[in-house]
Amino acid sequence: MNPTIKRLLGYCAQYPAWLTQAGICLLLATGAEVAGPLIIKLFIDDYLAPRNLDWPMIATLGASYLGLQLLSAAGFYLQSLRFNRIAQGVVQRLREQVFATAIRLPASYFDTHRSGSLISRITNDTEAIMNLYVQVIGLLVQKLVLLCGILISMALLDVRLMLVCAALLPAVGAVMWLYQRLSVPVVRETRSLLSDINSRLNESLQGMPVIQAMVQEVRFANQFAEVNQRHWAARLKSLKINGILLRPLIDLFYMMVLIGLLALFAHEGASVGGAIQVGVLYAFISYLGRMIEPLIEMTNQLNQLQQAMVAGERVFALLDEGRESTEGAVVPLAGRVSFQEVDFSYDGQQPVLQGVGFTVSPGQMLALVGHTGSGKSTIISLLMGFYPIGRGEIRFDDSPLAKLSLAAVRRSIGLVQQDPFIFVGTLAENLRLGRDGIDEARLWQALGEVQLAEFVAQLPDGIETQLEEGGKNLSAGQRQLLSFARALVGDPRILILDEATASVDSQTELALSKALAAARRGRTTIAIAHRLSTIVDADEILLLTRGQVSERGSHQRLMAQQGHYAQLFEMQSQGAWLEEKRA
């Protein structure tokens, strides 16, 4: 058995009661279904042909036939209902597992995979898996049991005629094998292109302001149309395979078996003087018709089966990805951070950090400066445990990061990003972010510390104001201040600022500087700064050049060295003076 299918079927075992009920309903429905032609055969051969009009018995046979049909319909309905419940339960569980895996994947995974591809796996691929349970497994089990019942009923009437009808099975099996060989590559291509469509759609919607500002609507529409055309071509190829190998071939086999069945009946009838049992003839033709429909339905579901197999491969590939470790010691951190000769590379070839080392203690502030691409943000990512380091060691207090719980470390860190993310929800929910034990007074205190309390108080709903996706109803500066307040709400031992004042005006920046000075007391502070005037009071400043520390020291010491830092500071000071003069 295909390992993906075997793994998918394993999820059914979690619902033993529903499986048992579905099995009982299926057996009852199948028994009622195959018993119908036997009753008709009995009526034709024992009552209609010899004109034995025993009306009470005929009425009993009619009522029995009607009762069996009702029992069959009810059984198949109840069986289908339970299989659907199992399918919904499996898909719900799979989606939860895929999402739980996605949010525990390391940052390196998202560097090489599109978010639209993940969305496709959580939605489209799990939907294809649900079709496997509803339309494929449920139908296959139902039809296989029905086929067994039909063959048994045929054998009870005439074994030789049953063997003629059973010749359909190996022929249909050969068609299924050939279909699988031809369709799997096409289905894989189709699922991959569908994922690409979702990725491009997601990327275009998120970047719509840039697309419209750069007048790139036509180019993006053409790129999307190209991928969509490839997806259409792959689907058309799949439809051609379906059209050739499924219904037409099965119908051809059916007609050949029917001709053989009638020829054998004619031969048998001639050999005994023409005494053909009309009831047996009717029963076999009826059974053959009932036999061919399950075979056609089963072959038609092969396309769904292939899609579900490919979707299952994609989903399980994600579930089997290495996740961030949840192990490690949970210890209270005082806030002392040290990098000890740390080397790092994203791709294992191009070095990003080389021999970076520093130590910063509670109450101290470390500033990271340097040109774009010098490694400042990488240091922050390593500090948060987003990537494993290549060489060296990162320590919190006296414990290596590798031996600590990442969750506990991150709870001790307050991160203020240059481009903060705001979630859909109330302002209070964005400040708390699910953290317990934070009352409303603490929220207002944090808002006051970042100079945002007055603005929030003027909102119609105050702190319960609903924020739109990405915080679109806030300005860039207000989103950054909100991110700053969110970091302070949890009272972190370590405060990381990635250009925390880049999007605010000069007056707010001055107030924030005072708030930052207060927030730094007793905390370890690490700041990335492009405006050097904001970090002149840092205890130590590291100037990074191509992943290496080229200069280090306090502002006064670096200015006295008259090195690259001093040149940068003087250039920025002159630029600020010219801007102020022009204003």
Q: Is the pLDDT of residue 548 over 50?
A: yes
513 part of a folded domain: no
Instruction: Look over the chain and give the mean of its residue pLDDT values, rounded to a whole number.
Output: 81
Domain endpoint, select from 294, 319, 344: 319
Compute the distance between CA of residue 174 and CA of residue 63 in angstroms, rounded to an integer.
41
359 part of a folded domain: yes
Compute the distance between CA of residue 36 and CA of residue 71 in angstroms, rounded to an integer.
11
The residue among 311 and 358 whose pLDDT is bigger is 358
- 180 and 34 part of one domain: yes
Average pLDDT over residues 547-575: 87
What is the CB neighbour count within 10 angstroms for residue 421? 10
146-151 own/partner pairs: CB under 8 Å, 24+ apart: 146/30, 146/33, 146/34, 146/290, 146/294, 147/291, 147/294, 147/295, 148/30, 149/30, 149/31, 149/33, 149/34, 150/34, 150/287, 150/290, 150/291, 151/291
Return the pLDDT at 502. Answer: 66
Which phi and psi angles does 394 have, rounded to 5°? -110, 130
CB-based contact 352:344 (threshold 8 Å): yes
Contacts of 318 (CB under 8 A, 6+ apart): 98, 101, 102, 118, 121
Return the pLDDT at 191. Answer: 75
Q: Is the pLDDT of residue 413 over 80?
A: yes
Average pLDDT over residues 317-337: 82
Domain endpoint, select from 451, 472, 491: 491
Contacts of 170 (CB under 8 A, 6+ apart): none
Q: How far is CA 554 from the centre of its chain?
A: 48
Contacts of 313 (CB under 8 A, 6+ apart): 4
Work out the percent of the chain whose per-residue pLDDT is above 90: 11
- 30 and 110 part of one domain: yes
Compute the distance between CA of residue 277 and CA of residue 327 in angstroms, rounded to an integer.
76
- 111 and 241 part of one domain: yes
- 86 and 216 part of one domain: yes
CB-based contact 549:535 (threshold 8 Å): no
CB-based contact 413:496 (threshold 8 Å): yes
509 part of a folded domain: no
Number of structural domains in the chain: 3
Work out the percent of the chain whose per-residue pLDDT is above 70: 93
**CATH number reported for the structural domain that contains residue 452 in this entry:** 3.40.50.300
Return the pLDDT at 367. Answer: 92
- 287 and 348 part of one domain: no
- 267 and 121 part of one domain: yes
Average pLDDT over residues 415-434: 85
Residue owning tokens 């199948």? 30
Domain endpoint, select from 290, 319, 348: 319
- 428 and 381 part of one domain: no
DSSP sequence for 360-371: E-TT-EEEEEES
- 367 and 452 part of one domain: no
| Tokens encoding 82 | 């339970």
pTM of the model: 0.67
192 part of a folded domain: yes
- 281 and 221 part of one domain: yes
Return the pLDDT at 494. Answer: 92
Compute the distance between CA of residue 337 and CA of residue 397 in angstroms, rounded to an integer.
6
pLDDT in tens, 367-409: 999 888 888 989 998 998 888 888 899 999 888 998 888 888 8
72 part of a folded domain: yes
Domain interval for residue 24: 3-319
Residue owning tokens 């003069």? 581
Average pLDDT over residues 292-305: 73
* 522: confidence class by pLDDT, cuts 50, 70, 90: confident
Q: Is the pLDDT of residue 580 over 70?
A: no
507 part of a folded domain: no
By CB atoms closer than 10 A (0-12, 13-18, 19+), residue 263 is exposed
Return the pLDDT at 525. Answer: 92
- 71 and 218 part of one domain: yes
Specify the DSSP element, H or E, that contains 454.
Answer: helix 453-457
- Least confident segment among 63-72, 232-241, 506-515: 506-515
- 473 and 528 part of one domain: no
Average pLDDT over residues 230-234: 89
Which phi and psi angles does 540 have, rounded to 5°? -145, 140
Q: Is the pLDDT of residue 274 over 50?
A: no
- Least confident segment among 43-52, 91-100, 242-251, 572-581: 572-581
Q: Is the pLDDT of residue 49 over 70?
A: no
- 366 and 401 part of one domain: yes
218 part of a folded domain: yes
* 277: confidence class by pLDDT, cuts 50, 70, 90: low
CB-based contact 81:75 (threshold 8 Å): no
What's the DSSP call for residue 44?
I
Specify the DSSP element, H or E, that contains 498.
Answer: strand 494-498
374 part of a folded domain: yes
* DSSP helix/strand/coil, 15: coil
Q: Is the pLDDT of residue 89 over 80?
A: yes
Q: How far is CA 318 from the centre of its chain?
A: 8
pLDDT in tens, 469-521: 778 888 877 888 888 888 888 888 999 988 776 666 776 677 677 777 777 88
The residue among 277 and 149 whose pLDDT is bigger is 149
Return the pLDDT at 342. Answer: 92
Average pLDDT over residues 95-123: 79
pLDDT in tens, 141-187: 777 777 888 888 778 877 877 887 888 788 878 887 887 778 778 87
Q: Is the pLDDT of residue 199 over 50?
A: yes
Return the pLDDT at 356. Answer: 92
Return the pLDDT at 273. Answer: 47
